[in-house]
Amino acid sequence: MTNPLLSTFDTPFESAPFDIIKTEHFVPAIDKLIAEADKEILEIANNPEIADFENTIDALELNGELLGRVVEVLYNLNHAETSEELQQIAQIISPKLSDFSSRLLMNQELFGRIKYIYKLSPDSLSTEQKTVLSNFYDNFIRNGAELEGEERKRFAEIKSELSTLTLTFGEHVLAETNAFFLHLSDEKDLIGLPDFVREAAQIEAGGRELEGWVFTLQYPSFVPFMKYSENRGLRKEMFTAHSLRANQDNENDNKELIKRIVNLRLELAQIMGERDYATYVLKKRMAEQPEKVNEFIQSLHKASRPFSEKDYSEVQLFATDNGHEGHVEKWDWPYWSEELRKAKYDISDEEVKPYFELGLVSKGIFDLANRLYGINFEKLDDISVYHPEVEVYKVCEENGDFLSLLYLDFFPRKGKQGGAWMTDFRGQDKLGEHEVRPHVSIVCNFTRPTESKPSLLTFDEVNTYLHEFGHALHGMLTNCVYPSVSGTSVYRDFVELPSQLMENWITEKEWLDEVAVHYKSGDKMPQVLLQKLIDAKNYQAGYMSERQLGFGFNDMAWHSITEVFDGDVIAFEKAAMKPTELFPDIKGSCMSTAFSHIFAGGYAAGYYGYKWAEVLDADAFSLFKEKGIFNKDVASSFRINVLEKGGSEAPMVLYKRFRGKEPSIDGLLKRSGLSSSEQ
């Protein structure tokens, strides 16, 4: 049987043919495609013609195009619909891809050609071409092209091992998340849980052929249980299971993996002549250096701390007044925070969810994108998908020109990692014979429909949808020539701007009034309830800011070590996060062992980027507020200067072209109610 991964996909829009792709296709296909790409690289490197942009850089950009597509399919499946077999294949393939990358980046003849063009810097190059050329040159330098002997060999070994270790880290977290469930058979244990939470738990139990109710560590189950359960002992049990993921000294424990990963990253950075891994990473970020990152997060910490302490004190006092004894612990916080929120704003998820039916929310977000950017969405039924629940949409310009395919995968499954993310199955470029348009995917873990109700989203889930849709817009509207800089191929501390900008509409009355419609009656959300959502938007903003900053402090600490680390992982984390801590210490707890963003994803020495981008998005949205939240001119400027440009120019250049100035943290503090005048 022909391997479908070895040729351009003969499908509508050249979409991935998931219906005929089998796990056994991946290894032989990728082996063959790596061999072909290796051959192409040697031809480029040994081209007898004098190096120029077309015969070297253009050729490299087109190298391994099909290989890249197949790898995207593999890794996206491994995140969204994995199996033991697929995980084993990813473990086999990952070092092969790392070795391929090392061969490319350490090819001296090839680097010589790139260096020649770089030093020549032809005047005829476009701005995008200059960026691409600079990226290639820097990438070769940063990946050991000028290393020799043992250092060269060791650098390649480290890259290969890290590619496997980070995969393993994520697999351990997924396994630990799936391993635990809380099975309840006595209805008295459900006190406080709304009907929608009980019904979902009953369905989960049925799926496991159990009587009663089952709660898992998947967010749509875990978060509502922690918010609503009046049973403190069960909340503690759920919290403990969540906080001990990959931290139980079993086969899935990640503590030794963390040590190995951070030490290898340190060694890699020091081979490259850098003090630590953060310094190495940040040279290709907007922040540029650890000192600037630390100054940034410290300034936000200083501004947030008084408000976070006030938030904690408020909850502690409220809990005590309502019968809670002792400190509010981490397993108490979601419950008492929700109780206080209901008391202050007279609002609850159970009251709000009927107005956020998933299908209607999707329509509202599509309509918002149409209103801002003039794009249209059409559901397709002839595109193969990797799971029956996945939906596919064709995205087009107002004039009908095709822009992108959009895959939507909303609900938790055993084979899907937790959280939410945007990715793509194909990027965009205009380098070949015809323009290649992207195939973008949004993957979430939203509340499932039940036997009696469709999928009804919490306010936070709507916010998550908007966030990931912002990333998707960045991927779908890109208009670059070169694939290496298109879409979300931007600096890590810039990539969250489009996503976080979209979150702003969730507390805008004009948009909420259109999208919040009762799934049964069709009535709009009452104005009183709608206003409560807006009034509550900065509820516990200080606490939320400190929580995010704590993760940033932890990330920077792990990647600022300058000597081999062989200490206590838990103690190291506690010391790093101590400045932001509000709660009594919990012996043995550790978030690092499940911190996939930095140990299995691309956010190492980059988690601060969420707050960095908040500064950008607060400043950017202030222009919409000034000109109108649906203002087409502002939206068009953001599209042309940010969304379409990808990484084709320096991020601050793009931002200033849109906004006319650099941002400051003042806008974020004011929007969040964290400025000194708010005290």
Is residue 357 annotated as part of the catalytic site, yes or no?
no
Only one residue has tokens 């290898």, namely 264
- CA-wise closest residue to 646 among 502, 484, 501, 499: 484
| Calpha distance 437→303 (Å, rounded) | 43
Count of other CB atoms within 10 angstroms of residue 297? 25
- SS3 category, 379: strand
Residue 607 CA to residue 614 CA, distance in Å, equals 12
Residues in the chain: 679
Amino acid at 465: Y
Q: DSSP readout, 145-203? A: TT--HHHHHHHHHHHHHHHHHHHHHHHHHHHHHHH-EEEE--GGGGTT--HHHHHHHHH
The residue with tokens 């978030």 is 591
- Local structure of residue 593 (DSSP, 8 states): G
CA pair distance 241, 229, nearest whole angstrom: 16
Determine which one of 81, 357, 468, 614 is catalytic: 468
* Beta-strand runs (E) in 410-553: 421-426, 439-443
Residue 215 Cα distances to 177, 178, 203, 232, 625, angstroms:
12, 11, 10, 15, 42
Measured CA to CA, the distance from residue 607 to residue 595 in angstroms comes to: 11
Contact 556, 597 (CB under 8 A): no
Structural tokens at position 266: 């340190």
Q: Are the beta carbons of 481 and 429 closer than 8 angstroms?
A: yes
CA 445 to chain centre: 13
Q: What is the DSSP string of 116-156?
A: HHHHH--TT--HHHHHHHHHHHHHHHHTTTT--HHHHHHHH
Q: Which secondary-structure segment (H or E) carries 396?
A: strand 391-396
Pairing of strands 181-184, 213-216: antiparallel
CA-angle at 640, arms to 635 and 645, nearest 5°: 130
Structure token digits, residue 607: 């988690």
HEC per residue, 268-309: HHHHCCCCCHHHHHHCCCCCCCHHHHHHHHHHHHHHHHHHHH
Using an 8 Å Cβ cutoff, are 214 and 208 in contact? yes
How many Å apart are CA 482 and CA 129, to the nearest integer? 8
- CB of 530 closer than 8 Å to CB of 512: yes
Q: Are strands 439-443 and 402-409 parallel, antiparallel or unpaired?
A: parallel
CA distance 362 to 371: 14
181, β-bridge pairs: 216
Burial of 640 (0-12, 13-18, 19+ CB in 10 A): middle
What single DSSP character describes residue 438? P
The Cα 100–Cα 114 span in angstroms is 18
Would you state the structure tokens that stand for residue 204, as one six-digit string? 């989960």
State how far Cα 206 lies from the chain centre. Answer: 32
- Distance (Å, whole) CA 122 – CA 132: 13
Give catalytic residues, as residue numbers.
468
